[in-house]
Amino acid sequence: MHQQFAALQIIVWAVHEGIIAAIGANWRDPSLEELRLAVNQTLTECDTTLVALALALNASTNAPAADKCHLILSTDERFALDALRERYIDRVQQKTPNNSRSSPSEAVLAKRATRREAKRTPSTAQTAVTRYRKSRSIPDIKSHGMTPSENENESGSSTFERPSLPTRRTVNPAMRFDEIDLNDPLVGKIVRAPIQFRGPIQGIKRRPCVVIAASGTDFLILRPCYSAGGFACNTWKTSSITVLEGTGLTKEGGISNEEYRVERRRVSAPIGSLSTVDWNQL
């Protein structure tokens, strides 16, 4: 059960990252319309329940877009609890071997009509919103992370606590640079940039690098990536890349602790992102 819950956490976090990618450059504090468009785009590729969980993940944080996520969850009928429950019931019935009928029975249709009618009443809707707001009252909330929270049922008794996902820690440059910006949109992304060789053979090679920070408006602070088996990858100065998926890299390897200040215009567009686990090892 623990492994299944951990897998669900990873899937929901991936959907959360997909919504952020759909928003684009303004992902830190999008407008309500930008967030709605990103959610609609994500719904074309992901299950409604997973998108609802991803929105709830962000709504339970102190992020600038938390209130907008809460507003979408409480007003969009696609994310109503009854609608999600109906979707789940339909899937179970479709997978049941004895259910060979192509359309729902009259009893099922009547129950759906009753639930939809009850959902339209102000008291039911207000009660659902009140329960959801109670679940958001969590102390010591961390931004962009699923922190443990205590859910309550209608009688007020607690049910369960959700374990938190890994949260990205702040990684400061090891060297001194001017006008450091740790909140640049490219921080944590993997790009390609020209890096100078160090050793008896001098030269420059474009290689994958992790963006650590921005330096002013025109420069980025980078740490180069090296393929496994190479000389640079086998030194004590590198940290291993344990999660290859999503990085845009094709080979396992490591990240050097050497830092380079490279002009932003000489850096490629992001080819991927470093996982939270590997970022926290830098």
User: 26-62 pLDDT, tens per residue?
Assistant: 777 888 888 888 888 888 888 888 888 888 887 777 7
Q: Which helix (H) or strand (E) holds 193?
A: strand 189-196
- Assess contact for 235 and 224: CB atoms under 8 A: no
Q: What are the tokens at 144?
A: 């962009």
| Residue 67, pLDDT score | 86
- Assess contact for 209 and 184: CB atoms under 8 A: no
| Residue 182, pLDDT score | 92
User: 152-194 pLDDT, tens per residue?
Assistant: 455 555 555 555 567 888 888 888 888 999 999 999 999 999 9
Domains of the chain: 2-161 (no CATH), 180-279 (2.30.30.110)
191-216 burial string, b = 16+ CB within 10 Å, else e?
bbbebeeeeeeeeeeebbbbbbbbbe
Predicted structure pTM score: 0.41
From the first residue on, what is the mean pLDDT of each consecutive set of 10 residues in the chain (282 residues)? 63 80 82 87 84 82 81 82 69 57 75 80 57 54 45 51 70 88 93 82 87 94 85 68 89 89 94 91 84
- Assess contact for 265 and 217: CB atoms under 8 A: no
